[in-house]
Amino acid sequence: MNTAEAGAVRSGLKEWIFTIDHKRVGVLYLFGSLAAFLLAGTMAMLIRTELLSPTNTITSNPTTYNVWLYFHGAAMILGFIIPSLTGFFANYYVPLMIGAKDVAFPRVNALSVWLYWVGVILALLTFVIPDPPDVMWTGYPPYSVITTGNTALYTFTVLLMGFSSIAGGVNLIATIILMRAPGMTWNKLNIFVWCTLGAFVLQLIFIPFLGNAVTLISLDKYLGTHFTTPSSGGSPLIFENIFWFYSHPAVYVMLLPGVGLIYEIVATFSRNRVFNYKGVVYGGILGSVALSGEVWAHHLYVTGNPDWLTIIITFTTLLISVPVGLLVIGLLGTLYRGSIEYRTPMLFAVGFIFLFLVGGLTGIPNAMSAIYMQLHSTYWIPGHFHYVMALSMTSAIIGGIYYVFPKLTGKMYNETLGKIGFVLLFIGFNVTFFLTMYMGVVYGMPRRFYSYEQFPEVHGIQQVTTMGSYIILLGALVVAASWIHGLIAGKRAPENPWGSRSLEWTHTQSPPPPGNFPRIPELSDDWGPYNYGKSLGATEEER
């Protein structure tokens, strides 16, 4: 079948479910992750509303609150951030950016999105079954083993998401290595492609450890083994180490593609080259990949890990500031001598730079074991990781969706709505999570607390924090409205509305047809995805 000539693209439900087109697989990921975001966000609002008063506000049952916490964390990380970045954006962009017709294994790709959807559905059962998981997304034993909550739902959701990521990883790594268009050399790849490669290398190396960890607690809970039971010679500390051996690298699985998207947006809206491309790729991206496996134990400074490990990990964790610093310098350098236009995606990129700066710098105290004596398990920790993961990556994802909107739908969103949404989100983010960090470090307010009557000092701050979260809600609603409005009533998008030089904008239509390109692009030596300097005029292929 000549897919490139299939003018009328079928779009029945069956064609969507059984699709092997990377763009449609990507869109399936996008719908799944937006659904997860909606639910996780609803949980966040319930959590923040409950915290308006020190004891009972909207539920008198602490377990209900704990289930909200569990679902919020698990859905945000496993259901929203990772799948939207490495599922939607990676699937959608990588073949378009490297000039390929599709991914290397389209059927494996379909399998990966099916596994992901089954995982989402399994996670949704949380709201149906009688004893939902109340173990937090970290699932520490022995609690996860002895609880009456349904830990299996947690472990099987994790396993399904894990298999999905492995399938996606094998697929996209093979695609990037083998299917680059003629002339698309390694040093001409988009930064986002490099970031995706780094993220999937991490997934392939580290997911087995997560699978191992959750399997241990499943076996302990349901088959009576004793891997984590101290009275029988097991150790919960083993689980904690294995769990974080995946879950800290997972931060870079989210961070790298997020940063990659921001690089694309910043370069496009500055119409500028990426500053020190090789430094960013080989220093920043590959440096992060290389170091990310040596930092897990900073989560465990005050657990019972041996002191020699703490000493090593303190240094390696501080060292992560080197590659991450290089990534930030590359971003700032890309602005230098640029021609910056402030459309909605660029606003989110600017927001990202500041949120990421706060998130990165507030990570330095976490690396220091002695300072961690106060910070561990307080509000400082969720404050910090919301800045560096949730807020930064959500900014990257939302900005990225605005950026891809014309390509994906062929329509334009409403610029005013988009900008209002950004301003509300940026204000709400900072109010909510700066105060969260403040409560943690100053008062030692512990996280995962249903009631906090022992900390009367934070009562007023908690209420302001909740107000901040309502501003976030308002911003999210405006963003959603702008997308829905764009889908229904958006104007027809120009072929290359941003004037980008990258393949997905210059060499194919919007939205791209199955098979992506009329013919596989052949790239000359002086082509580059960020070559703006030469001229803004149309290239030969561009009509």
Applying the rule CB under 8 A, the residues between 295 and 334 that interact with another protein are: 302-304, 307, 310-311, 314-315, 318-319, 321-322, 325-326, 328-329, 332-334
Residue range at the interface with another protein (CB under 8 A); choices 22-30, 167-175, 273-281, 393-401: 273-281
Between CA 154 and CA 353, with CA 45 as vertex, the angle to 5 degrees is 90
Per the CB < 8 A criterion, the answer to whether 529 and 190 are in contact is yes
Residue 136 or 471 with smaller CB distance to another protein? 136
The partner residues of 446 in beta bridges, in order of sequence, read 378
- Pull the structure tokens for residue 439: 């409560």
What is the closest distance, in whole angstroms, from the C-beta atom of residue 101 to another protein in the complex? 31
Give just the sign of the alpha carbon dihedral 426, 430, 431, 432: positive
Residue of 82, 100, 81, 80 whose CA lies nearest to 23: 100
What are the phi and psi torsion angles at 447 (to 5°)?
Answer: -80, 170
Q: Show the binding pattern over residues 482-521: x = contacts another protein (CB under 8 A), - = does not.
A: ----------------------------------------
Question: Is residue 472 within 8 Å of 415, Cβ to Cβ?
Answer: no
Q: How far apart are CA 141 and CA 215, in angstroms?
A: 12
Q: What angle in degrees, to the nearest 10, is found between the helix axes of 344-361 and 249-270?
A: 140
CB of 184 to another protein, least distance (A): 18
Interface positions, 386-425, toward another protein (CB under 8 A): none
| Amino acid identity at 224 | G
Question: Per rule CB under 8 A, is residue 71 in the interface with another protein?
Answer: no
Please tell me what DSSP assigns to residue 104.
S
CB of 271 to another protein, least distance (A): 4
The stretch near another protein (CB under 8 A) out of 40-48, 95-103, 171-179, 234-242 is: 234-242
Residue 463 contacts residue 52 (beta carbons within 8 Å): yes
How far apart CA 232 and CA 226 sit, in angstroms, is 6
- Sites for another protein among residues 168-227 (CB under 8 A): none
Q: Is 347 in the site for another protein (CB under 8 A)?
A: no
Residue with tokens 């308006």: 52
Question: Minimum Å distance from CB 179 to another protein?
Answer: 27
Residue 344 lies near another protein (rule: CB under 8 A): no
Cα–Cα distance between 48 and 462 in angstroms, integer?
8
**Nearest alpha carbon to residue 382 among 465, 483, 305:** 465
Q: Which of 16, 105, 443, 527 binds another protein (CB under 8 A)?
A: 443
Interface with another protein, residue 136, by CB under 8 A: yes
- Stretch 364-383: interaction string toward another protein, x if CB under 8 A: xx-xxxxx-xx-xxx-----
Q: Which of 10, 107, 337, 519 binds another protein (CB under 8 A)?
A: 337
396 sits in which H/E element: helix 392-409
3-state SS, one letter per residue, for 250-308: HHHHHHHHHHHHHHHHHHHHHCCCCCCHHHHHHHHHHHHHHHHHHCHHHHHCCCCCCHH
Residue 1 or 308: which CB sits closer to another protein?
308
How many CB atoms neighbour CB 226 within 10 A?
14
Choose which of 5, 131, 186, 230 interacts with another protein (CB under 8 A).
230
Rule CB under 8 A: say whether 235 interacts with another protein.
yes
Stretch 151-170: interaction string toward another protein, x if CB under 8 A: --------------------
Using rule CB under 8 A, residue 335 touches another protein: yes
Instruction: Report, in Å, the least distance between residue 99 CB and another protein.
Output: 22
Question: How many residues interact with another protein (rule CB under 8 A)?
Answer: 88
Task: Between 42 and 235, name the residue whose CB sits nearer to another protein.
Answer: 235
Residue 542 CB, nearest distance to another protein (Å)?
Answer: 16
Nearer to another protein, 134 or 504 (CB): 134
- Pick 333 or 513: Cβ nearer another protein: 333
Q: What is the number of other CB atoms lying within 10 angstroms of the CB of residue 446?
A: 16
Cα–Cα distance, 252 to 352 (Å, whole number): 16
Residue 450 lies near another protein (rule: CB under 8 A): yes
Kindly state the smallest distance separating residue 322's Cβ from another protein, in Å: 5
The residue among 382, 464, 443, 432 whose CA lies nearest residue 52 is 464
Interface residue with another protein, options 66, 203, 394, 462 (CB under 8 A):
66
